[in-house]
Amino acid sequence: MRAAGAAPPAGVPDLLGAAVCVVDRHGVIARVNGHAERLLGRDTADLVGQDAHDLLHRDQHGQPPTRAGCPIARAFSARRAQAGSGWFERGDGALVELSWLIAPYAAPSADADTVVVFADHGRAADDPDLPREPGAVLSELERLALLAETTTQLTSTLDSDEALNRLVRLAVPRIADWAVVDLITESDEVERSIVMHYEDGVLAAREDLQGPMPPVPADSPMPLSRALRGAASTLVTPQTYQGPPDSGIAIEQARLFEATGMHSAAIAPIRGLRDVLGALTLGRSRQCGPLTSADLSLVEDLTRRTGLALDNARLYQRQRKVAETMQRHLLPQLPSIPGLGMAARYLPAPDESQVGGDWYDAFTLADGMTALAIGDVVGHDLDAAAGMAQMRSMLRAYAWSHHEPPSAIVRRLDGSTRLAGVPMVTLVFAVMERGADGMWRLTWTNAGHPPPLLVTQDGRASYLTDGHGMLLGTGLTPTRTDASVTLPPRSTLAFYTDGLVESRARPIDDGLGRLRKHAASLAHRPLAAFTDLLLERTRPAGDKNDDDVAILTLRTP
């Protein structure tokens, strides 16, 4: 930073016709030009030597954003080219939204090596949601900022629908007031998935114009047909579709232009790495000029980024579906035990999370007893699901071939975790035996897993916390103990994995309390309904949970 009392360095010339600041690698302003002084409402002496982030950068409410989350501060440190937009505070305290472009600057001084170019959005700070008029000409800096924002927005999601919705919100109304997305499905059918219109300050869907489309003709010269075959982008008008239609798609396009009133549109293919994924149409219907070749070039840049994002999202979803399918097929069918009710559910992780290693098992042993297991292989990927299958198979083999208490079986399993290639595993393993008096007796051992929950017919719920020991795969040889309990008539036993009771939004103790409360209230329900409602109420759909859930329930006669 410049020493106190030193004269400010010479300013940056106004030859660029834009507001320019030169900032050193620490984010301190070293030089500015006259355009920057006027745009920021501050003299050179008020700017030079000040931290650019602290002095200027604000959110739309006028509060300083954190440095860690500030893209400008990160770009200063990394010395990389980047574009974006944000709110800045002028010398008079007013807020102004500016587009910015940062690039390394070759200067003699090692402390002045980044140049920042600002452009005014022309939007008032007291109306931050006021959008640009559709059809307004974007400056080159605003185009760069739009592309940078598009890249950031599309690469931060692995959900295809969300990526397309973000694309529409970025393009409308900056470029046009209509957005249409046609997608080619995995079965080579065309689906008009999005038709959105900007009107009265909001985006509205035209669902009546969405839906399945006719097949893509192989030799049609019409713009959308060519785009869906991966050909060049095209500027179109309603006149394009006024002649005799050559295909069903041409008929739908004529209907689209008539229904929307678009007088100008740009159609560009959305290409993936190997295939054409669809087409984007941006159109104008309001009182504004037609789209130009420069707009078409911008639309092509947007669809290139969209194609990569959709490719990544589809690949991820395909892999996730394979993993989930494998995991579901590896989970067993429950045995039929006379006098004993049994139910199980598996719920994959929501949203963009990966599959995990949660599993359950129930099987009859050679001596007639019933073995029960619930476990979780550490990890959230295909390896965890595969490790889960190996652990379940080895547990079955040990339990069937060795007539030993649960703790001895789990000790054997603990020594085999390296063979299965899994890091660590939590597990409850139990056996149930019906005595001469008709009562069922449960014997179990717990290896670092959440405790089973026992609910009596009258609604008393308690956790079975005895028999608890260290999880598997630590490389240690801990002491393992067994615990036993006689189950009252018409009682319900619930085994579950931690995804049911733990999330980023709340600690596990809160989840355990919620599980006990709901289980007690559902004690009178049939076992299938008890299991479904317990899963639904203990882990509501809006809960921020990135783990899968397995649950196994039993009810005594």
Question: Do 369 and 422 share a domain, yes or no?
Answer: yes
Question: Do 313 and 335 share a domain, yes or no?
Answer: no
CA 335, CA 343: separation in Å to the nearest integer?
A: 10
Give the confidence band of 143 by pLDDT, cuts at 50, 70, 90: confident
Condensed to tens digits (0 to 9), the pLDDT of residues 337-368 reads 988 999 999 887 765 445 567 889 999 998 89
CA 383, CA 103: separation in Å to the nearest integer?
A: 42
Condensed to tens digits (0 to 9), the pLDDT of residues 390-415 reads 888 899 999 999 989 999 999 999 98
Condensed to tens digits (0 to 9), the pLDDT of residues 455-472 reads 999 999 999 999 999 999
Question: Do 363 and 453 share a domain, yes or no?
Answer: yes
CA 392, CA 552: separation in Å to the nearest integer?
A: 15
Domain boundary among 271, 295, 319: 319
- Residue 3 within any structural domain of the chain: no
What is the pTM assigned to this prediction?
Answer: 0.52
Nearest to 477 by CA among 411, 380, 545: 411
- Residue 53 within any structural domain of the chain: yes
Domain boundary among 269, 295, 319: 319
Question: Do 407 and 366 share a domain, yes or no?
Answer: yes
Question: Which CATH number does the domain housing residue 146 bear?
Answer: 3.30.450.40
- Residue 223 within any structural domain of the chain: yes
Half-sphere exposure of 125 toward its Cβ, with a 13 Å CA cutoff? 18
Are 463 and 516 a contacting pair, CB within 8 Å? yes
- Residue 455 within any structural domain of the chain: yes
In the prediction, which pLDDT does 108 show? Answer: 47
Give the confidence band of 8 by pLDDT, cuts at 50, 70, 90: very low
Question: Do 105 and 145 share a domain, yes or no?
Answer: no
Question: Do 108 and 151 share a domain, yes or no?
Answer: no
Question: Which CATH number does the domain housing residue 522 bear?
Answer: 3.60.40.10
Question: Which CATH number does the domain housing residue 88 bear?
Answer: 3.30.450.20
pLDDT at 245 over 60: yes
If you average pLDDT over residues 121-142, what whole number do you get? Answer: 52
- Residue 135 within any structural domain of the chain: no
If you average pLDDT over residues 193-222, what whole number do you get? Answer: 92
Question: Do 123 and 146 share a domain, yes or no?
Answer: no
What phi and psi, each to the nearest 5 degrees, are found at residue 342? -150, 140
Question: Do 262 and 221 share a domain, yes or no?
Answer: yes
- Residue 7 within any structural domain of the chain: no
In the prediction, which pLDDT does 330 show? Answer: 66
CA 482, CA 443: separation in Å to the nearest integer?
A: 7
- Residue 207 within any structural domain of the chain: yes
Q: Can you read off the two tokens belonging to residue 505?
A: 């939004």
Question: Do 542 and 415 share a domain, yes or no?
Answer: yes
- Residue 11 within any structural domain of the chain: no
CA 144, CA 362: separation in Å to the nearest integer?
A: 59
pLDDT at 528 over 90: yes
Domain boundary among 295, 319, 343: 319
pLDDT at 380 over 70: no
Determine the residue type at 171: A
Question: Do 97 and 197 share a domain, yes or no?
Answer: no
pLDDT at 426 over 80: yes
In the prediction, which pLDDT does 420 show? Answer: 63
Which residue has tokens 């002496």? 45
Question: Do 71 and 191 share a domain, yes or no?
Answer: no
Domain assignment of residue 249, given as a range: 141-319
Question: Do 469 and 391 share a domain, yes or no?
Answer: yes
What domain count does the chain have? 3
